[in-house]
Amino acid sequence: MRIKWELLVGKALIVGAWLLFAQIVWVGVDAGMNAERSAAEGEPARAERHQDR
C-alpha cells in the first residue's frame, strides 16, 4: 500500500504544480489583455499608473 500512496501523492503534486503554472499564465495573459484594452481606450495601463506615484 505504501507504494500506491507515494504514487498518488506524486501525481497530486504534479497536477497541483501544473494548475498553479496554468493559473500564473492565465493571470499574465489577462493582465496583458487589460493593458492592451486600456491603451486602446486611451487610458494608461495599471503598471504605468503605479510608476507615476
Q: How many domains is the chain built from?
A: 1
Q: Evaluate whether residue 38 is within a structural domain.
A: yes
DSSP state string for 1-53? -HHHHHHHHHHHHHHHHHHHHHHHHHHHHHHHHHHHHHHHTTPPPHHHHHHH-
Beta strands in 1-53 (DSSP E): none
Question: Tell me, what's the pLDDT at 34?
Answer: 80
What is the reported pLDDT for 45?
56
Whether residue 36 is contained in a domain is answered as yes
Q: What is the mean pLDDT of each run of 10 residues along the chain (53 residues)?
A: 87 96 89 78 60 53
**Nine-digit cell at 18?**
501544473
pLDDT of residue 48: 54
Q: Answer yes or no: is 25 within a domain.
A: yes
Residue 8 within a domain:
no
Q: What are phi and psi of 7, to 5 degrees?
A: -65, -40
